[in-house]
Structure 1
């Protein structure tokens, strides 16, 4: 398993993109719209096939019938809410996780068009907070391969009140990393840009 992307959700996408540009010195590139979900995103490369997704409401879409993903409708400010790991056979990865006692959910098909009009298609499991969701890009060109503006990922910290239980679930999806004791669950990333390090 390898880090695919971090999800930085916000109730105000333009403001958050501007804030990150001011702190990192890097302007996130427009990604695209998610039809039917009421969201769109901007992207910053994190090195290799990894990136930061900044996702928020899309005012050019009608309000979606269901709540926007990642709890966007309830957010009062930007937050690092989830992350994804890349797999090559998502159905097999789901089966392995279930065999180890963790259910990441069924894989579903997703797609969006880039600003240039290219169609990106992928499959993913449902986001579940600190345990990363699985994503399989299949034959689609990975977004990080499109020359994104770049920042460095210095560290990613996972905090949880019960590190042992979370470590077991992480291992079920092929992630082996330390979990620090914390009174509340959280993800914290440190990024390195032109203006120095920024914690989100």
Structure 2
């Protein structure tokens, strides 16, 4: 069975400005999630139904610059865009081993965590490719999701306001075949359309109708 979407990630140079844009598009403002200590970022969240959510992430001016590149290319100035996504992998070791056997290495499994404003500690494990550490662009140009497992931690979508329902997600790439091959190895079912630019497009059903987030 193909892996299910856990969350989609919208990057921005400044969190409040990004939340302004999301609120204008979806009609609901993302709520502050928390800081990523040592990562130099903070986030805001909206639930998108079916245990999925939107993460808006930006550099955190309250933290010192990290000793490594920020996640998802956030050190590049001025970008507001849907950058990448994560899929659920409750059987993390099995999924990673299967992907490697099919020719794609999702990367090292690392532990992550942050503390919510109410004091609840969230903890997860996720895959991180070497490019995430070096700042280089990974295979698939960020269109290939990383794996995440929340374990016993309450899923973030449960505490976030409802921003709509994620109806579909597709990718666009000048050479779709290169991305599709990796997605098949990871057992991820997402359409990759040929297009002049590289990006993700989420169709979200809102109170104001169907909108696209890019």
When the two structures are superposed, what TM-score results if normalisation uses the length of structure 1?
0.93
Moved over 3 A (4+): 194-198
Q: Which residue number corresponds to residue 64 of structure 2?
A: 62
User: What is residue 33 of structure 1 aligned with on the other side?
Assistant: 35
For residue 21 of structure 1, the aligned residue among 12, 20, 23 is 23
> Is the 2:170–2:190 Cα contact (8 Å) retained in structure 1?
no
Aligned partner of 2:161 among 145, 148, 173 = 148
Q: Among 132, 138, 143, which residue is 1:130 paired with?
A: 143
Taking only aligned residues, the RMSD between alpha carbons, in angstroms, comes to 1.5
Residue among 178, 181, 185 paired with 2:198: 185
Decide whether the 8 Å contact of 1:160 with 1:180 is kept in 2. yes
Match of 1:111 among 94, 110, 113: 113
Cα offset for 1:147? 4.6
Choose which of 61, 73, 76 in structure 2 pairs with 1:74.
76
Q: Distance in 2 between matches of 1:138 and 1:86?
A: 11
Q: Helix, strand or coil: the match of 1:62? A: coil
SS of corresponding position for 1:124: strand
- Do 1:9 and 1:81's aligned partners in 2 also have CA atoms closer than 8 Å? yes
In structure 2, what is the equivalent of residue 195 of structure 1? 208
**Which residue of 1 is the match for residue 170 of structure 2?**
157
The correspondence for 1:139, drawn from 152, 171, 182, is 152
Higher mean alpha-carbon deviation, 11-20 vs 172-181, is at 172-181
Question: Please, which runs of 5 or more residues in structure 1 have no aligned partner?
Answer: none
Identify if the C-alpha distance between structure 1 residues 182 and 98 changes in structure 2 by more than 3 Å, giving closer, same or farther. Answer: same
Q: Secondary structure at the match of 1:122?
A: strand
Query: Given that residues 123 and 153 in structure 2 are in contact (C-alpha distance below 8 angstroms), is that contact kept between their aligned partners in structure 1?
Result: yes
Q: Take 1:179 and 1:147, find their aligned partners in 2: how far apart are those partners?
A: 29
Superposed displacement of residue 198, structure 1: 3.2
> Which runs of structure 2 are paired with 1:77-88 in the superposition (5 Å)?
77-88=79-90
TM-score when scaled to structure 2? 0.88
